[in-house]
Amino acid sequence: MKLYKYILILAFAGSLMLTACVKEKNFPPEPQIEFLRYQKYGSDSADCVIAFRDGDGDIGLVEGDTVSANDFQMKYLYKDTDGTYKPFDAIDSTAAMDTLFYSYRVPDITPEGQYKALEGEIKAKLRSHPLYFPSHTSVKFEIRLRDRAGHWSNIATSSEIIP
């Protein structure tokens, strides 16, 4: 009988030690992002990958939400002859196109349970055409993410991309 009590006490103490080692992540409720990589696959596609953190886990649009705007945006910038990066609409003020954005909808990834903090990676799949314009020798993207509460992340800038 005493052996049973010792085993029970050891099991209880062990479970306390295991739960004490789990550190909760304390992130702000606004998403934080960081550009990780841009990977081309031949001439027909590419991936743009960012890391993200969000304290309240409200990343992604819930299934059936057709009203909310896209929550992942990539602003297209090209390298001008003076070496600075400019948005596409700066090419010609009479252009019919406003600043070029690639927008995506991230699926709901809110975790179950009480603890909602999230961190991970989001991969945006891109088509290479019409991604690059022939006169653009180098491009970058300014990337941002919006959570369901409407908080915008910081703006992460990609590395230089040579078409």
In this structure, what CATH number is given to the domain that contains residue 60? 2.60.40
Q: Is residue 12 part of a domain?
A: no
The widest CA-to-CA distance across the chain, in whole angstroms, is 88
Whether residue 16 is predicted with pLDDT greater than 50 in this model: the reply is no
Q: Is residue 9 part of a domain?
A: no
Give pTM, 2 decimals.
0.75
Least Cα distance to 142 among 152, 134, 151, 150 occurs for 152
- Write out pLDDT tens, residues 85-142: 988 764 555 444 456 778 888 888 888 877 788 899 999 888 755 456 777 888 899 9
The per-residue pLDDT of the chain, averaged, comes to 79
Q: Is residue 19 part of a domain?
A: no
Q: Is residue 102 part of a domain?
A: yes
Q: Is residue 82 part of a domain?
A: yes
Q: Is residue 3 part of a domain?
A: no
Q: Is residue 17 part of a domain?
A: no
Count of the separate structural domains present in the chain: 1
- Write out pLDDT tens, residues 69-89: 889 999 888 888 899 998 876
Structural domain harbouring 152: 25-157
Q: Is residue 148 part of a domain?
A: yes
Whether residue 61 is predicted with pLDDT greater than 50 in this model: the reply is yes
